[in-house]
Structure 1
């Protein structure tokens, strides 16, 4: 009985001390500083952590049904950092770095580096695979294919040789113009046909080796002189340089080339291309038998006819870049002018159809 009274006495004394302590504290509530008297109960709470009774290290108490323990003590138990800002009356709790935490973080860094390295290897392999798909053969295989495809052009025999690697390829195209028939045929070739020949060869090389830089020339083995030199730009455009060779295309040669190219431009209508003038002033006419092809001609749209005349204009301009060019479509048996096409100095197109 005395022991029980002693315990309650202790509790009462402790409670009075708590009341005195809390009455000396103040805190902000809704922006106002107030004092509050609390009644605390001790001796009724035990704290067990991982099977160990921690109550002896600190004494928890109960206020209004809520159990209170020191924040710093509990933070120590759970391995946390505690900070206190006396100016703002703010307590902060943060995690303490542990060996396992540092280890995991280091592993993440290592794994990220490994993933980045693997991604780079995948990209390299994909690029290599793509390159193999586009250029599965060797330089020698490509040389043989080009010889088979382009060894004879316009009834002239050429010998094509490749040197280099996938990045830099030299192209040597040799022709013996000592043979009179080859000399005549070579001289009859227009600029456009020679350039088409070279561009086709370069296109085939770039299809197999898309990153290649190409340089080459056409050489007359009889005179031992270069006739044409060429190279490709970084964008794959073929640049052709004439080596002191007179390539002035005559009006009749160009007329023949255009007629050969466009006589069957419209499948159901036969066209005839005629030129007159010179390298400074050219007039071209597209002649048709209107009585024979009236139905087919009338079905053509303005866009179709304008496209034909624009293409012919481009081919003439390619040969004579400084020429003033005008084009017409005529009925060669009496109807007269069917269409007209020209461009201003600024490149603006003008098209008229009767």
Structure 2
């Protein structure tokens, strides 16, 4: 009887262990049954063994690594959000500072690249200027070399003004390209007068010009260079004719806008427009050429385009820039561009304007301006001469 009772108790105890053991396991859904577990796993990063109070281990052929061990190695801050059952990972203060330093260095590199391109452009312009001077000298020498002193019997008394005019137009047929580097400018000279006074009138047509819209946009020094050669060539062509001792005067005009002209009285040139217009026009043209196709330099997107204009006087210059994103691959509007990139670009705009006007009456002018999104002008950046204000 006692053996029977003892057996019954053992059986009941076994049943209770199974039942309550099952409840403890299946009543806690976050507890997993460990089938195989191995300790002693080492994590090696770039030759260095990582250490942590919590060791990595393998369960069922899957390696489990304490996340804090890895995040500390990569400079991350990690915390546990008990309320939401989340592991929160953030960049550490040191990492944020490093990212900022990297961003600043990138901006410096961008600025240096822009300066390098600016120097390359300046060197190219210097080469162009030197070539223009060389060509003018060569043309002048060629013109002068044609002057010979014939005996009196060889004077071409039958040469007419029409003959001289025809020869001049043939000689200057490529003047637009040779003197202004723009073969779209058409040149025509009309010659009148008598053996005492010769008067020329030159008209320049800008309808098909590439870089200019009107005469006052052409550098005055280049115009003087052209007219000096015109005077020399007239003397050369008139030598040995009834007109060889004639006083030469003349006028150069914009064919479509006669209010723009240059008068020559036999010794000096008078321009109908103020030199300040010349400086602003020349600087504007330089800005457009300088920043043409520079979207990749300043914003890493070569499809961004700029339209730049400049206005003002010797006390204050103001630029207005419209930036176009129609074909951009990286941006939809101005608000998507890093503000540091925008500041860097506008700093370079100011630098170029200062450089181009440094030897003019505008050298002390205050420089201000606006940058607008070409499609949505509510996105803009204002520069007041010392700081930038963003509308977005």
Q: Same fold (TM over 0.5)?
A: no
Q: Which one has a larger percent strand, Structure 1 or Structure 2?
A: 1
Higher relative contact order (CA 8 A, sep 6+): 2
